[in-house]
Amino acid sequence: QSVLTQPPSASGTPGQRVSISCSGSNSNIGNNKVDWYQHLPGTAPKILIHSNDQRPSGVPDRFSGSKSGTSASLAISGLQSEDEADYYCAAWDDSLNGLLFGGGTKLTVL
C-alpha cells in the first residue's frame, strides 16, 4: 500500500483540462521534490515532470506540475487521445530512505 495517494482513475474529453492529485506527508512530498511519470502499455515509464514543476526537454507544455505542502498535482490541458495512460507521482521518503511511487492513476480520454 503506497503512502502517496492518487485517485485510481480520471477521465476527460479531448481538449479538456484534467488534474491528478498526489497526497503525501512531511517525510516525502513535504520535504522533497515530486516527479510525475507517464506509463503507456508495453513501454517503459517516461518522466513528464521533475522537481515539482520542471518539464524535461521534449515534453509538451500541455503537461504541468505543482506542489503545495504535502500535496502535488499534475495538470494536462488540451487533452488528447494519446494521453490515455497510467500516471504516477513519486517522491523521496526520508523515513524510508527510498523512493515512493503513488498508486497510479489511469487516465481515460472519452
Partner 1 sequence: EVQLVQSGAEVKKPGESLTISCKGSGYSFTNNWINWVRQMPGKGLEWMGRIKPSDSYTNYIPSFQGHVTISVDTSISTAYLQWTSLKASDTAMYYCVVNPGIQVWGQGTTVTVSS
Residues that bind partner 1 (CB under 8 A): 2, 37, 39, 44-47, 50, 56-57, 86, 88, 90, 96-104
Q: Closest approach of Cβ 47 to partner 1, in Å?
A: 5
Residue closer to partner 1, measured from CB, 47 or 75: 47
DSSP for the chain, please give it: --SBB--SEEEE-TT--EEEEEE--TTTTTTS-EEEEEE-TTS--EEEEBTTTBPPTTS-TTEEEEEETTEEEEEE-S--GGG-EEEEEEEEETTTTEEEEB--EEEEE-
Residue closer to partner 1, measured from CB, 15 or 56: 56
Q: Closest approach of Cβ 14 to partner 1, in Å?
A: 26
